[in-house]
Chain A
Amino acid sequence: NAGVTQTPKFRILKIGQSMTLQCTQDMNHNYMYWYRQDPGMGLKLIYYSVGAGITDKGEVPNGYNVSRSTTEDFPLRLELAAPSQTSVYFCASSWDRTPNQPQHFGDGTRLSIL
C-alpha cells in the first residue's frame, strides 16, 4: 500500500531555475494538499485541491503553481526558484471534507535553492 508518494526526495536548484515536485496517491482521496516546512517550524499550507480540476490557495502560495488533472496526481511547480523557497515540502491527502478524517502525508521533498 503506497499511500502518498513524493518525488524527488532531495533536490538542489540554482536561483531562477524551475522544477516540478511530483505527488501521487493511490487511496482515491479527493482532497490533496501541499505544505512547506521551514527549519524549526510547523507546516504551512501552500495550495490545496478538493478534486480534479479544482485548486485553491493556502497561506503561502506566492511563487508556486499547482494543477489537478487527475484524482491521483497533484504536482507543485516552482517557476523561478528563489533562496526563500529552500524548505521541506510535504504533500498530503484526505478522504473527504469531514474534518475528523486525518491527512495522510508523503515522506517529503527536501529542496535547496543556491
Chain B
Amino acid sequence: AQTVTQSQPEMSVQEAETVTLSCTYDTSESDYYLFWYKQPPSRQMILVIRQEAYKQQNATENRFSVNFQKAAKSFSLKISDSQLGDAAMYFCAYRGPYGNKLVFGAGTILRVKS
C-alpha cells in the first residue's frame, strides 16, 4: 500500500521569507500524481499545486513550487515571499495511475510571523 509521510508537524516562517515543507512517499508504481493541499482554519481543502511523476520539470504556481525527486520519492513544497494568508495546514497527497483515491500525509501546520 502507498504511504505518504510528512515529517514536520509544524513549521514557522517570517513574513516575506521562504519556507520548504517536506513530503516523502512510498510506492511501487512508476506513474502517479502528487498534490499539495492547503487547509486554512475555515477547513476548506484547497489545491495548491500538482505534479505528474512522468514529468521531470518541477511544477510551479506563482509563489509555490515543488522539488520533485522521483528516485528519492521526495516531493517538497517551497513557498516564496510568505504571506500571512499562507498560514494553514498543508497536506501532501498521492494518487496512483489507476486508482481514484488520494492517500494523504498527516499534515504540516505552517505559521507565518509578521
Contacts and interface: CB of A to CB of B under 8 A. Distances in A.
A99 B97 contact: yes
B35 A42 contact: no
Interface string B27-58: 00000110100000011110100101000000
B104 A44 contact: yes
A85 to B, nearest CB: 18
A42 B43 CA distance: 12
A43 B32 contact: no
User: Which secondary structure dominates chain B's binding surface?
Assistant: loop
A103 B102 contact: yes
B18 to A, nearest CB: 24
Contacts of A74: none
Given A40-B106, A42-B91, A99 B96 contact: yes
A48 B95 CA distance: 14
Interface in A4-49: 31, 33, 40-45, 48
Given A42-B4, A42-B6, A100-B52, 12 more contacts: A33-B101, A40-B9, A40-B106, A41-B106, A42-B91, A42-B105, A43-B102, A48-B101, A58-B101, A90-B45, A102-B50, A108-B43
